[in-house]
Chains A and B, each alone.
Chain A
Amino acid sequence: MSINSHYPQAEDFRHALNARYRAASIWQALFLSALLIAIISLLALIYNVLDGAFGFVAFDYKNDPAAYTSTPMSELTQKELAAILKDNLSSGAYNKLEKEQPLEKRSQAELYTLFLERLVELDTKNTWSMTESLLHENEIRAEVARKYPTAKLEFRSWLTPQFLVTPMSSKAEFAGVRTAILGSLWLVGIAILFALPIGTGAAIYLQEYAPKNFLTSIIQTNINNLSGVPSIVYGMLGLAVFVRVMEPLTSGSVFGVTDANGRTVLSAGLTMGILVLPLIIINAQEAIKAVPDSLRQAAYGVGATRWQTVWHHVLPNALPGILTGTILSISRALGETAPLIVVGASTFISMDPDSPFSKFTALPIQIYQWTTRAQSEFHAIAAGAIVVLLILLLTLNATAILLRNRFQRRW
């Protein structure tokens, strides 16, 4: 008996082969369905957010616009609006607005918002999601006619340019996310400025200098585990250390800032910095590890010191990987909510953060706060804010990826 006779021949072989192909195609179908599930989940997420950010809104005016002007509201010019506001606002309110920014220098859209907010007092009765609005327009119209006979129905986007540049307001129709966007940018900026140099430094030390012994392996294990610690724990740490113990520093009182406490954007940024530190260290270590040893040897071979080797060769070649860690960290810091609540982000603040010692709010906090409100218009602006958060995230990540690709150019 030859060995070959133990293998299936001719027909048998073809049968076996078909069975192998069948098994392969089953697996292939499974992988494809896994991919489809992932894509559907993502699409559902995007749909869900957009669904809330657009739709019908039924609103009424408490005061009749005709009492202020004979011009139709949609045709009011900037000048007319300024005049109407000047004539009808109480002098105290008018002077306050003038002091913030003279009315004639404000845009038409801004004055129109003031007109709606202060004079005619727009009052939202109900809102509908995009799907409802598109599929059940007639029912909605009938319902509005029945329930709110004087109300007007309008299809609107809650995400407008005005939404981006307007500070917080107690009325959803006039609220914006400017304060929250700026707060988030300050937060991420401080976190990265703090964590990137420290994280990279720690990674260099661990990878290039630290002896391989019991102590370093314990440190290494701890760093790996720290990246999995729930973020609320970092919030508690931030509260204890940055808000309380280091209050003179984080409140800015040692720098002469008065009326401050430790619940500043600096405290929150440092907390986020600590939170993303393990992420940056681990990624930087991986990047440093990936730099081929032959490069280090080449440098040592021409008489370089360890530091010259690290600074001129290891670090530049590890930079793309270090930036990958930074990208992940930005995403994390931008999206974290729990530590901010603990550290004490303000839920209602209309003042832009203008220094590290400012009180602040951030986009996730704002979104969280709005979604917990009962009125449906707040849910709509929460959806708008989520879109803003996602776009901000993509923009920051794209910047970091562009930077990384720039450094990736070999030599």
Chain B
Amino acid sequence: MENKYAIEANALSIYYGSFMAVNNVDMLIEAQKITAIIGPSGCGKSTLLRAFNRMNDFVPGCHVTGELLMQGKNLYSKDIDPVEVRRKIGMVFQKPNPFPKSIYENIAWGARINGFKGNMDELVEQSLLGAALWDEVKDKLQDSAYALSGGQQQRLCIARTIAIQPEIILMDEPASALDPISTLRIEELMQELKKNYTIIIVTHNMQQAARVSDYTAMMMLDKEGSRSGTVIEFSETKRIFTNPKDKRTEDYVTGRFG
């Protein structure tokens, strides 16, 4: 039987040098579900998300303690190559960041460097279909990706990510730079994507978390005066928004915070 959980954080803490940014997080992320991470600015949501595919490795002085398990293997153990982690755990960033290349190349490049041997045209079409972008760009695949609108660029970034067939897709506020219509399209797309992928999304928009996610993790600075964030509550989205256990979660989701 396949593992019910796609990824599992055990007592995960993240440090920048000696400063602890994220404190002691335990999370079981269910496969083929959407998990949202919400919380106020500066509480370490993005840091936590970036820890999942070792994107923080590029930040000088950043290191973690605890475990991050994927299929029983600790992603931070010595014998795991971070490139392999990112091959399995893709990422969509806050600001659309297509490559300054053609639409086609944006998708083909990732596939090519990962040694894809199949039919490239087919892969590009499948990926664009998967990101609900195919109909809009099928006649201008050789045009610059920069000629697309912000929402289209973001869907191109999603297409680029699913082209390499990861198991998990991390999304760091993927709709925060987009207008409401583009945002809606991304949200609809996420519902499609979760049939095949596990999605973890960081969002500032609580309605968005409530609309799209199955599970929600509430992050907050762990105590007054501290600057380390931690997950104070993690459960089904419905429960977080209707019947939270923690008073701070309730204040936050009902807009009574601060």
Contact = CB atoms under 8 A, between A and B. Distances in A.
Interface stretch (A74-82, A224-232, A261-269, A296-304): A296-304
A223 B39 CA distance: 45
Contact of B146 (A300, A313, A317, A410): A410
A298 B55 contact: no
Contacts of A297: 55, 58, 91, 93, 97
Contacts of B100: 295, 317, 410-411
Interface in B124-155: 144-146
Contacts of B91: 297, 301
Contact of B93 (A212, A301, A303, A305): A301
Nearest to B102: A411
Interface in B65-119: 83-84, 86-87, 90-93, 95, 97-102, 105, 109-110, 113-114
A294 B93 contact: yes
Given A295-B99, A411-B101, A411-B102, A301 B60 contact: no
B113 A411 contact: no
Most buried by B among A303, A308, A411: A303
Interface in A209-238: 211-212
Given A410-B144, A411-B144, A304 B97 contact: no
B23 interface: no
Contact of B60 (A211, A299, A304): A211
B164 A313 contact: no
A292 B60 CA distance: 17
A312 interface: yes
A301 B99 contact: no
A298 B146 CA distance: 14
Most buried by A among B100, B102, B144, B145: B100
Contacts of B114: 302-303
Contacts, number: 73
Contacts of B157: 298
A301 B172 CA distance: 12
Interface in A299-337: 299-305, 308, 312-313, 317
A304 B83 contact: yes
Contacts of A292: 97
A301 B55 contact: yes
A392 B86 CA distance: 51
The A interface is mostly helix, strand or loop, or mixed, namely helix
A212 B99 CA distance: 27
A369 to B, nearest CB: 50
A45 to B, nearest CB: 41
Contacts of B213: none
B109 A300 contact: no
Interface residues of A, number: 21
Contacts of B144: 410-411
Given A212-B60, A298-B93, A298-B157, A303 B86 contact: yes
Contacts of B163: 302
B160 interface: yes
B161 interface: yes
A209 B58 CA distance: 10
A411 B160 CA distance: 16
A297 to B, nearest CB: 6
B59 to A, nearest CB: 11
Contacts of B60: 211-212
Interface string B3-19: 00000000000000000
A302 B58 contact: no
Contacts of A294: 93, 95, 97
Contact of A303 (B83, B97, B105, B146): B83
20 contacts: A211-B60, A212-B60, A294-B93, A297-B58, A298-B98, A298-B99, A301-B53, A301-B92, A302-B90, A302-B161, A302-B163, A302-B164, A303-B86, A303-B110, A303-B114, A305-B113, A312-B109, A410-B100, A411-B99, A411-B146
Given A295-B99, A300-B58, A302-B110, 10 more contacts: A294-B97, A298-B93, A298-B157, A299-B99, A300-B55, A303-B87, A305-B113, A313-B99, A411-B99, A411-B102
